[in-house]
Amino acid sequence: MSTENALLTILAEKIKNDSLVLPTLPEAAIRVRKAADDPDINLNQMAEVIAQDPALSARMLKIANSAYMGRAIKVETINQAVTRIGLRQIKNIATALAMEQLFVSKNPVVKLFLSKVWGITIDVSACAMATLKAYITRNKHTSLNFDTITLAAMVHNIGVLPILTEAERHEEVFANPEFLEGAISKLAGRVGGSIMRAWDFSPEFVTVAERWNDKRYIPENVCYIDFVRIAAVHAGVMPIEGSKEDFYAEYVEKGVLTDVNFLESDDFTEQFNAAKSIFAD
């Protein structure tokens, strides 16, 4: 058995036996999520929780003042940011903003690969957010919302992390980038679903992480996975048969997109750049 096949076998076996070491949710996100689940929490108390993490505080202010949020008046305190974003949304937004902490490694090769994955994750997230925003504008009574798509898109490819951690122990594998891409393509979905369950995330997040790249899964109703898939195709990380226009046409028919050229429009580009700026350092 080749080294590559051996590693694939090891990964698949660990996934099957639930023995693959999964990443833990960043501490800042854990604190915010725990506080958000407290029915007695108020805006001031939530602001105090967020203020414990300077990096998260800075990013929360940035998102509250972003063009994507569409507010002209600038907020300058965490209390004001929490008030603008809202208690319900804070839980998912804070978690999404904390995700970057997981995409780190001391191994130079893995570090470069994670940097690439993180960049793609931001592009996918920004595209999904911009596309959903346009959808919500047309469908004001939809149950889909901004904070959920932000987090769902940020974790859609979370399954790559334990795969890279495991592969890091077999550095000879990194001589063949094609193997790494192949292992991620074959296994990341299953691992991603396991991570979402381990983090006790709701089923909608499990489905996105586990099945966004599974072409056999075709949801009947408009859901978050539709926006992640559109974004992944736009970013060139989801293989498709035929042209992008043909792929987008399916979502025009479903009512997700207005037309096949929407992602080339000035309106989309403006919202995409506004969403992407949220994650910039």
Question: Is 90 exceeded by the pLDDT of residue 280?
Answer: no
Average pLDDT for 213-236: 95
Average pLDDT for 127-132: 97
**Least confident segment among 36-45, 78-87, 104-113, 267-276:** 104-113
Question: Is 80 exceeded by the pLDDT of residue 37?
Answer: yes
CA 210 to chain CA centroid, nearest Å: 12
- Cβ neighbors of 107 (< 8 A, separation 6 or more) are 168, 171
Which pTM was predicted? 0.90
Question: Is 70 exceeded by the pLDDT of residue 176?
Answer: no
Average pLDDT for 248-277: 95
The per-residue pLDDT for 65 is 87
How does pLDDT run across 48-66, given as a tens digit for each residue? Answer: 999 999 988 988 898 888 8
The per-residue pLDDT for 175 is 54
Average pLDDT for 126-151: 95
The per-residue pLDDT for 23 is 87
Mean pLDDT score of the chain, rounded to an integer?
88
How does pLDDT run across 231-249, given as a tens digit for each residue? Answer: 999 999 998 988 999 999 9
Is 3-21+100-277 CATH 1.10.3720.10? no
What Å distances lie between residue 195 and 95, 108, 178, 199, 207, CA to CA? 14, 25, 24, 6, 11
Nearest Cα to Cα of residue 124 among 263, 267, 22: 263
The per-residue pLDDT for 110 is 81
